[in-house]
Chain A
Amino acid sequence: MRLNKNTIFVTLMDEVKVIEIKKSIFENNDRDADLLRAELKSRGVYLLNLMSAPGSGKTTTLIQTINRLKDKIRIAVMEADIDSDVDAVKIKSATGIPSIQLHTGGMCHLDAEMTRQGLDNTPLDDVDLVILENVGNLVCPAEFDTGAVRNAMILSVPEGHDKPLKYPLMFSVCDVVVINKMDVMPYFDFDLDKCKEYIKMRNPKATVIPVCAKTGEGIDAFADWLLGQVREWKK
């Protein structure tokens, strides 16, 4: 919403003029994100925003997922990780899918405007699915709508099952929570049932998918969910 003249009241107080604004700084971004989503819908492109703490396994999970889907749909990747083109190179060599590096200029998150700039450099006419690997951070990305159709996040076993209690906003904006590194369960006192319960407290509709990105176990469930999402979006 553009700042609208009639929402501004001017009052005189001594020699200081006070102009009331009452405007959330997220407002412009929310509008940009809605616009972007509508455009993607009309072009038949599905955008997934993938978030996690650093090192939870975003890149590893992406590689496994892309290799299961790349013969069925056309995929592109946008990398916003701070540790720059390391991930982009990894994705390219492991899947053959090109990925675009987004420059966040030291920012801790991506907003809709930066996402749009990334998409401007993506051949959208030849793509069904764009996956955005967001900056590794559980606080800031949750506050900024990127314009993605859905948000997904990865929580890895070593981080602990009580993470949904510590980062409530992140878990409430995600439709899917992938629990990664299931192979190391024996070494941590991670309680999967408790974790699911905490996630449902934040978002009753969230889908929880346990995986081991290292071996690929469980990735089929995530890939199937994503494929279903893309097909539904393109109808």
Chain B
Amino acid sequence: MHELGIVFYIIRDVKQAAKENGVEHVSAVVMNIGEVSTIVPEYLTDCWRWAADKEDMLRGCELKIETVPAVTHCDNCSSDYPTVKHGKTCPHCGSTRTWLLSGREVEIKQIEVKT
């Protein structure tokens, strides 16, 4: 499953960041997930619970998800518009010379540590 694979990458990067910051236990991880990243947030948190609890450093650690809206830019008329609503075709001028500005993010925003 896609989300489980993603969870393993998150765990690897979080453990590395924790180590570099001398952190022993992480209480929460905040993710930026793009609207068109193909990741289903509920699956991601389910997989996270299962995998994170197997790691001492991440036992009980919460995965918080913040959604990044998908925005497309039109090269023809230089406008930005919401991707999910209008897709590849610019709603202002009808051009398809458009490209995704944001919305594909799968990014670790921050980790939180109880002091």
In the bound assembly, the distance between CA atoms of A9 and B72 in angstroms comes to 30
The answer to whether A225 has its CB under 8 Å from any CB of chain B is no
Cβ-neighbour of B111 out of A15, A19, A139, A169 (below 8 A): A19
Q: How many residues of A contact B (CB 8 A)?
A: 30
Given contacts A3-B16, A3-B17, A16-B27, contact A21 B2 (CB under 8 A): no
CB neighbors of B among A1-38 (8 A): 3, 5, 8, 10, 12, 15-26, 28-29
Tell whether, in the assembled complex, residue A108 and residue B112 are in contact, meaning their CB atoms are under 8 Å apart: no
Cβ-neighbour of A17 out of B13, B104, B115 (below 8 A): B115
Tell whether, in the assembled complex, residue B88 and residue A108 are in contact, meaning their CB atoms are under 8 Å apart: no
Tell whether, in the assembled complex, residue B108 and residue A8 are in contact, meaning their CB atoms are under 8 Å apart: no
- Binary B-proximity of A29-62 (CB < 8 A = 1, otherwise 0): 1000000000000000000000000000000000
- Contacts of A118 on B, CB cut-off 8 Å? none
The answer to whether A158 has its CB under 8 Å from any CB of chain B is no
B40 to chain A, nearest CB (A): 11
Which residue of the partner chain A has the closest CB to B99?
A172
B16 to chain A, nearest CB (A): 6
Cβ-neighbour of B110 out of A19, A26, A107, A139 (below 8 A): A19
- Contacts of B108 on A, CB cut-off 8 Å? 21-23, 25
Tell whether, in the assembled complex, residue B113 and residue A24 are in contact, meaning their CB atoms are under 8 Å apart: no
- Contacts of B112 on A, CB cut-off 8 Å? 16-19
Cβ-neighbour of A109 out of B5, B13, B27, B105 (below 8 A): B5
Tell whether, in the assembled complex, residue A201 and residue B96 are in contact, meaning their CB atoms are under 8 Å apart: yes
Tell whether, in the assembled complex, residue A21 and residue B105 are in contact, meaning their CB atoms are under 8 Å apart: no
CB neighbors of A among B79-115 (8 A): 88, 96, 104-115
In the bound assembly, the distance between CA atoms of A18 and B30 in angstroms comes to 10
Cβ-neighbour of A20 out of B9, B23, B27, B109 (below 8 A): B109
The answer to whether A140 has its CB under 8 Å from any CB of chain B is yes
The answer to whether B42 has its CB under 8 Å from any CB of chain A is no
In the bound assembly, the distance between CA atoms of A107 and B115 in angstroms comes to 36
Tell whether, in the assembled complex, residue B16 and residue A20 are in contact, meaning their CB atoms are under 8 Å apart: no
The answer to whether B57 has its CB under 8 Å from any CB of chain A is no
Tell whether, in the assembled complex, residue B88 and residue A168 are in contact, meaning their CB atoms are under 8 Å apart: yes
In the bound assembly, the distance between CA atoms of A65 and B41 in angstroms comes to 41
A153 to chain B, nearest CB (A): 17
- Contacts of A12 on B, CB cut-off 8 Å? 115
- Contacts of A169 on B, CB cut-off 8 Å? 38, 104
- Contacts of B88 on A, CB cut-off 8 Å? 165, 168, 201
Which residue of the partner chain A has the closest CB to B98?
A201
Tell whether, in the assembled complex, residue A24 and residue B107 are in contact, meaning their CB atoms are under 8 Å apart: yes
CB neighbors of A among B3-46 (8 A): 4-6, 9-10, 12-13, 16-17, 20-21, 23, 27-28, 38
A34 to chain B, nearest CB (A): 17
Which residue of the partner chain B has the closest CB to A137?
B2
In the bound assembly, the distance between CA atoms of A8 and B28 in angstroms comes to 16
In the bound assembly, the distance between CA atoms of A33 and B104 in angstroms comes to 19
Give A contacts to B, CB under 8 Å: 3, 5, 8, 10, 12, 15-26, 28-29, 106-109, 139-140, 143, 165, 168-169, 201
Give B contacts to A, CB under 8 Å: 1-2, 4-6, 9-10, 12-13, 16-17, 20-21, 23, 27-28, 38, 88, 96, 104-115
6 pairs of residues in contact across A and B, judged by CB atoms under 8 Å: A16-B114, A18-B111, A19-B21, A21-B108, A21-B111, A22-B107
